[in-house]
Structure 1
Amino acid sequence: MAAPMVQALAAVGLALCGLLLWRWRGRVRPVGPGLVCVAVLGDLGRSPRMQYHALSLARHGRRVALLGFLHTKPHNDTLCNERIHIVPISELKVLQVGPKILQYIIKVIAQVLQLLYALMKIDHPSYILLQNPPGLPSIAVAWIVCLVRRSKLIIDWHNYGYTIMSLTHGTSHPIVNIAKWYEKIFGRLSDHNFCVTNAMKEDLQMNYNIKAITLYDKPAAFFKETPLELQHKLFMKLAKDYDSFKARTESAHPDVEKSAFTELDVRNGSLAHVKERPALLISSTSWTEDEDFSILLKALEDYEQYINDGVRIPSIICVITGSADLGVCLHKSSSGLDLPMKVVDMFGCCLPVCAIYFECLHELVKHDENGLIFRDSNELAEQLKMLFSEFPSIDGKLQLFRRNLQESKQLRWDESWDQTVLPLLSSN
């Protein structure tokens, strides 16, 4: 019953696509090799890797059309770059009428038309660099546009869309099976492919017959350890509204400014960590899922300004991450083939982590070297007891992990991108 309906709606969608392409048949005009369309059918503000792609392209003189939803504000570096033009698309809301599968099909057809219009409206791109997931319907639409406009399609595989959908619908649901078939067929039509792990590279080759290049997520330059002076400013700001950041004991002298973590003697400028300070632990899931933390971030918006020494704070998230003592990652991959980007950012700040196990996590977290891997709450509890038993001693294992990260000289995004992506673009 559902199959004929799907086929009929798909035929209608293809017919409408044909009409739109016919309308633009005379408007395909190259304007030089510089423009690259970086596209994601998702929130740009929560797509840091695609923003990094755009910034790297702009750094090498390319004009960039960065296309996606604008629910969350992109990074200031992205917004202020004169070579990057943001092409916002609005998320469609389908009427909640009829069977869910019908609602989903109608939404997909509407997205096809919307994305097709947006991609044909921009100047002629030499490449369309597309994030997957979400790939349904963006891969097929981008491929059609590339075919018509003689552009090349690059897919950046972050995960598989069908595995994410299976978390909600189950592995045997028709929508999940359609999505799996779709990614397998249309993914092969790309000219080039990147992916986030070697495990995914092998899986793409074995099960999809797609050759991909591994481009690991790497921290941007603005993720780094936060200087103690900036930590103190942050903690004093937070102490005004949050008891956890207030000093545990009163200052011995009125000229000593004190938080739970730091103290500043304003008479001589001496600044240090509080001797018996608590540990600051952050979770990689808190940025979007924890309501209290969202309130905290909102309260800190006015803090993103030029401070006294003229240094601009790139992001309050960077400052908090760079001030913490330990990160805890609760990310579980739906496919077992992608890696948590928040851990990448933590490592950029030389912040050790405790991360929950999944199959390819070892490509990022080296157990007992830059952090610890746990499988359940009991194991995490034991790890936390061990790491904080002598805190804040500089001789404990937590500080050993931090020193290992400091000495590892890990590649940053710009260096990794120049080594991996730039040669491919230059050769084409």
Structure 2
Amino acid sequence: MAAAGPWPWPWAAVAGAVAALLFLLLLWRRRRRAGGAGRVCVAVLGDLGRSPRMQYHALALARHGREVALLGYLQTRPHRDVLRSENIRLVPVAELSVLRVGPKLFQYVLKVLVQSVQLLYTLLRIEQPSCILLQNPPGLPSIAAAWVAGLWWGSKLIIDWHNYGYTIMSLSHGRSHPLVLIAEWYEKLFGRLSDYNLCVTDAMRKDLWVNFKIKAVTLHDKPASYFKETPLDLQHNLFMKLAKDYEPFKARAASPSADRSAFTERDGSSGSVLKSRGRPALLISSTSWTEDEDFSVLLRALEDYERFIKEGARLPALVCVITGKGPLKDYYNGLIQKLRFKHIQICTPWLEAEDYPLLLGSADLGVCLHKSSSGLDLPMKVVDMFGCCLPVCAIHFECLHELVKHNENGLIFRDSQELAKQLKMLFLDFPSLEGKLHSFRENLRASRQLRWDQSWDQIVLPLLGNKE
């Protein structure tokens, strides 16, 4: 990156303080020996409950007998397997409230400084680890803090690159904004200080080497073992549970049996569960409600789907479930409330961690709106859907082909009109076991894709060395 003139005084002060601290730590490190064999810190400066890949890392390490300090924000409850593991200890990081005093640049600099101290303090209070496994992004200031902690402990630093933080910042500020340029410089500089690097796609591995001179190993996201097709009994139990709070899951018409949802019913005499006649199709989209996912694309496609039915197309009614949390959820909920659909119902529940895989395994089709800010990462939500043998329609971006094979396990679309046509084509024969939707599901069943544990053991375990 070309020089942009003298640094603003806050950054110069920060650089000086950091240089002095690092000098002292380097002197200290000469007197310390690496230790903490068998202990690993898995860290993310984000919500642990919404960081599934880092939870998977922790579970894999625990499975191999490592003691894991899982560090991050505790906003959303992690998966119960994490909570039940005797080898995993949650290390909460208090989330900072937004400072609204002074210029935005001052607010940001102050936030970074406070987060740096807070994260470093937390990292230095855990038991000495042999390794710190850190998620990026967010990398500012977590990479520097983790590296300094690694110097203190004499432990290795592994960065798991999910994306680039500076490309995410550019969505809000623009590519040439000074903060974006500083963030890019920071990631390039501190990223090179890691001992090992993981990344989520082959495209990112190549880009890390070409543009950052960082050697990384690709660890593709893989579904955990609990992402699988949901048996009918469990589907029915889930639908009945959701029907207590969400109208779209309730039975459409009065029924002599109270044990009936919009999608399933239990036979009173045999006790067996059947799919309801004339049931709607269940469409699910998981979103983080951020700027890199244009949810209006799905809404416009649903408007076209409604129009197809009004024009006489023999299509099923739809229940569209959108899960997730994020800053734009209230905005899009406002748009949803203004829609006047007769054949489509939309709900936006927040599901318990254990219910989300069950819902994916019960759905008929998934929709992914994730657009990578860098064009180099892949949506984990699609990985989870494929684990449940759920076909997907996904919006196009550069390296999506590493995951979604068009016309094989799903479809790729570029705009709302193309998505609407795909929904019409896929649901035209619903719920018949003929047509594309069924063949996509059969292809996913036949693929027998590698699961997370197997992939992790092959790629990550060798980096950690033998446990002493």
The reply to whether TM is greater than 0.5 is yes
Letter in 1 for 2:13: A
Supply the distance in 2 between the matched residues of 1:124 and 1:28 (Cα, whole angstroms).
12
SS in 2 for 1:335: coil
Could you tell me which residue of structure 2 aligns to residue 6 of structure 1?
11
1:66 to 63, 67, 70: 70
CA contact under 8 A between 2:116 and 2:141: conserved in structure 1?
yes
Deviation at 1:362, TM superposition (A): 0.4
Deviation at 1:316, TM superposition (A): 0.9
CA contact under 8 A between 2:33 and 2:154: conserved in structure 1?
no
Classify 1:424/1:316 alpha carbon distance in 2 versus 1 (closer, same or farther; 3 Å).
same
2:42 to 9, 23, 38: 38
CA contact under 8 A between 2:200 and 2:377: conserved in structure 1?
yes
Letter in 1 for 2:285: S
**Gaps (5+ residues) in structure 1?**
302-313
SS in 1 for 2:386: helix
Supply the distance in 1 between the matched residues of 2:36 and 2:182 (Cα, whole angstroms).
38
2:462 to 420, 423, 427: 423
Q: Tell which deviates more after alignment, 351-360 or 31-40.
A: 31-40
SS in 1 for 2:349: helix
CA contact under 8 A between 1:13 and 1:109: conserved in structure 2?
no
Q: Tell which deviates more after alignment, 23-32 or 149-158.
A: 23-32
Could you tell me which residue of structure 1 aligns to residue 81 of structure 2?
77
Deviation at 1:176, TM superposition (A): 0.3
Deviation at 1:260, TM superposition (A): 1.8
Q: TM-score if structure 2 supplies the norm length?
A: 0.83
- Spell out, residue by residue over 1:244-293, the C-alpha distance to the aligned partner (whole angstroms, 9 max, x if none): 22223444xx4573222112112112321123211000112132244679
Deviation at 1:84, TM superposition (A): 0.7
Supply the distance in 2 between the matched residues of 1:258 and 1:177 (Cα, whole angstroms).
56
SS in 2 for 1:38: strand
SS in 1 for 2:234: helix
1:296 to 340, 344, 349: 349
- Spell out, residue by residue over 1:122-170, the C-alpha distance to the aligned partner (whole angstroms, 9 max, x if none): 1111101011001111111211221232111100000000000001111
Could you tell me which residue of structure 2 aligns to residue 371 of structure 1?
410
Q: Does 1:184 align with 2:184?
A: no
Aligned counterparts, 1:22-421, within 5 A:
32-251=36-255, 254=256, 257-285=259-287, 286-289=323-326, 290=329, 296-297=349-350, 315-421=354-460
**Aligned pairs, number:** 411
SS in 2 for 1:41: strand
Deviation at 1:426, TM superposition (A): 2.5
Supply the distance in 2 between the matched residues of 1:22 and 1:203 (Cα, whole angstroms).
31
Supply the distance in 2 between the matched residues of 1:49 and 1:138 (Cα, whole angstroms).
17
Letter in 2 for 1:88: P
Letter in 2 for 1:351: L
Supply the distance in 2 between the matched residues of 1:94 and 1:14 (Cα, whole angstroms).
27
Supply the distance in 2 between the matched residues of 1:105 and 1:266 (Cα, whole angstroms).
64
Classify 1:107/1:24 alpha carbon distance in 2 versus 1 (closer, same or farther; 3 Å).
farther
Q: TM-score if structure 1 supplies the norm length?
A: 0.90
SS in 2 for 1:288: coil
Deviation at 1:178, TM superposition (A): 0.4
**Gaps (5+ residues) in structure 2?**
1-5, 288-322, 334-345
Structure showing greater relative contact order (alpha-carbon pairs closer than 8 Å, 6 or more residues apart): 2
Q: Tell which deviates more after alignment, 68-77 or 242-251.
A: 242-251
Supply the distance in 2 between the matched residues of 1:295 and 1:366 (Cα, whole angstroms).
28
Classify 1:66/1:24 alpha carbon distance in 2 versus 1 (closer, same or farther; 3 Å).
farther
Letter in 2 for 1:296: P
Could you tell me which residue of structure 2 aligns to residue 305 of structure 1?
none
Classify 1:47/1:255 alpha carbon distance in 2 versus 1 (closer, same or farther; 3 Å).
closer
CA contact under 8 A between 1:29 and 1:124: conserved in structure 2?
no
- Spell out, residue by residue over 1:348-397, the C-alpha distance to the aligned partner (whole angstroms, 9 max, x if none): 11000000000000001000000000000000000000000000000121
Classify 1:202/1:30 alpha carbon distance in 2 versus 1 (closer, same or farther; 3 Å).
closer
Q: Once superposed, what is the RMSD of the aligned Cα atoms?
A: 2.4
Deviation at 1:75, TM superposition (A): 1.0
Supply the distance in 1 between the matched residues of 2:224 and 2:76 (Cα, whole angstroms).
19
Deviation at 1:43, TM superposition (A): 1.0
Supply the distance in 2 between the matched residues of 1:255 and 1:3 (Cα, whole angstroms).
71
Supply the distance in 2 between the matched residues of 1:197 and 1:382 (Cα, whole angstroms).
30
Deviation at 1:14, TM superposition (A): 5.0
Deviation at 1:237, TM superposition (A): 2.5
CA contact under 8 A between 2:389 and 2:444: conserved in structure 1?
yes
Deviation at 1:408, TM superposition (A): 0.5
SS in 2 for 1:257: coil
